[in-house]
Structure 1
Amino acid sequence: MKDIQLLTTHEQLKTLSDPFRSQVLLRLMEKPMTGQQLSEVFDLSRARIHYHLKELEKNNLVQIVKREEKNGIIQKFYQSVALGFVADRDLLPHPEEMSESVRQMMINMLERSQKRVLSASEEALHDEIGSQDPSEWKYLSGAFEFKATEDDFKAWLKKYFALMEELSEIQKQNPTQDAKLYYFHSLGIQVDEPLFDRQKPEEEES
């Protein structure tokens, strides 16, 4: 599975713009699954699941990664071809489909993240230190809003991904017994209206 796959056709954008297909694709980013397994997850008929899988496969968004025989039936395991998708510049004449495909993927990722938080253990969320210093917390949780130029944002984004790669490589190079599994989901988008209205207390203003 690639880290990033380039979307090169209008049909790929339309496929990702479908809310249900983007949900299926997100599941298949996590692990390979069969049509039967997906039908149980979404409580839908195998015929309907296979229809959507064929559309995703036809547009090179998922692929069969293995086959297993069970009770004389060959089971096909599908997986997303990448962990993320980026639209090619040639697709810019279709901004609505491009925006909608990104929007649907973000919405579904938020839903998956919500489920991960709800299923997190008490240990993962219990902060024994009670510190106001975020560097001492056992988890990452925050919302930020500030102004930046597009160039500044892109430069920071490059550093951010480099930092995430640095963290992921530590255990790959020097594995230890006390390592824990962490789940990250980040979201940063341009918005039109501010969400936060932070005002100083009256005593500070005077």
Structure 2
Amino acid sequence: MKDVLVLRDLDGIKAISHPYRLEILESFGDEPLCAKQLSEMLGEPHAKINYHIKTLLGAGILELVEEKIKSGIIEKYYLPVAKMIVIDKSILNSNNDSVVQTLNQASISLFEKISEDFYRAAENNEIKSKHVRHYNEFYLTEDEARELMDALDDKLYEILKNKNVKDRENVRPYNITFISTPDIRRERNIKK
């Protein structure tokens, strides 16, 4: 498995622009899984899992790594091709309407996944104020917002390098999210 897969085409971005496919990808650890195992883990019908696996396979995001025969049935085992998936920056700067719509859908799917994780943690009383930050009313150009996100990425990778080892004492998995969104409501009030 590679460390990073860079998506450079619209088909790959469309494949990850569904929240359920993100859920499937996040279900993998280091070991390959078959559709039946994913179905049991996610509590979803086998046919639904197979449909999304085929989409991820076709986009080159999942790969078939093994086939086993069990009770006369061939079970196919898959792994993501990389630990992390990123979208090529040149695509992010596109003005093509279909690319923009696909990127927006991918962003919405990711946000829905983040929201589900957040609500699940909150329902289990696992959200602490030290884990949440919100800053508002900064006035930036698009380039400045992108520069800020890139700087946060760089700093995060610097701080967290080698922090993906699961067998260290007292560790638990965390998802870390940076989101910068235009405040459309406030922007409309300024322009009036």
Same fold (TM over 0.5): yes
Secondary structure at 2:50 match in 1:
helix
Name 1:96's counterpart in structure 2. Answer: 101
Once the two structures are superposed, what CA deviation does each residue of 1:148-170 show, in whole Å capped at 9, x if it has no partner?
A: 7333442243122110115x28x
Name 1:57's counterpart in structure 2. Answer: 57
Greater displacement, 76-85 / 20-29 = 20-29
Question: Aligned partners of 2:46 and 2:123: how far apart in 1?
Answer: 28
Alignment length (residue pairs): 173
Name 1:106's counterpart in structure 2. Answer: 111
Q: Percent identity?
A: 22
Question: Aligned partners of 2:102 and 2:2: how far apart in 1?
Answer: 23
> Residue 149 of structure 2 contacts residue 178 of structure 2 at CA under 8 Å; is this kept in 1?
no
Aligned pairs (5 A) from 1:155-166:
155-165=151-161
Alpha carbons of structure 1 residues 66 and 9: separation in structure 2 relative to 1, 3 Å: same
Question: 1:59 Cα deviation (Å)?
Answer: 0.7
Alpha carbons of structure 1 residues 61 and 190: separation in structure 2 relative to 1, 3 Å: same
Q: TM-score if structure 1 supplies the norm length?
A: 0.66
Once the two structures are superposed, what CA deviation does each residue of 1:47-80 show, in whole Å capped at 9, x if it has no partner?
A: 3321221111011011123334433433222222
Q: TM-score if structure 2 supplies the norm length?
A: 0.70
Q: Give the unaligned 5+ runs of structure 1.
A: 126-136, 195-206
Question: Aligned partners of 2:135 and 2:6: how far apart in 1?
Answer: 29
Alpha carbons of structure 1 residues 142 and 18: separation in structure 2 relative to 1, 3 Å: closer
> Residue 28 of structure 1 contacts residue 79 of structure 1 at CA under 8 Å; is this kept in 2?
yes
Question: Aligned partners of 1:8 and 1:57: how far apart in 2?
Answer: 16
Residue 186 in structure 1 maps to residue 176 in structure 2 = yes
Name 1:18's counterpart in structure 2. Answer: 18
Q: Give the unaligned 5+ runs of structure 2.
A: 185-192
> Residue 33 of structure 2 contacts residue 79 of structure 2 at CA under 8 Å; is this kept in 1?
yes
Question: Aligned partners of 1:7 and 1:181: how far apart in 2?
Answer: 31
What is the RMSD computed on CA atoms of the aligned residues? 3.4
Question: Aligned partners of 1:4 and 1:99: how far apart in 2?
Answer: 22
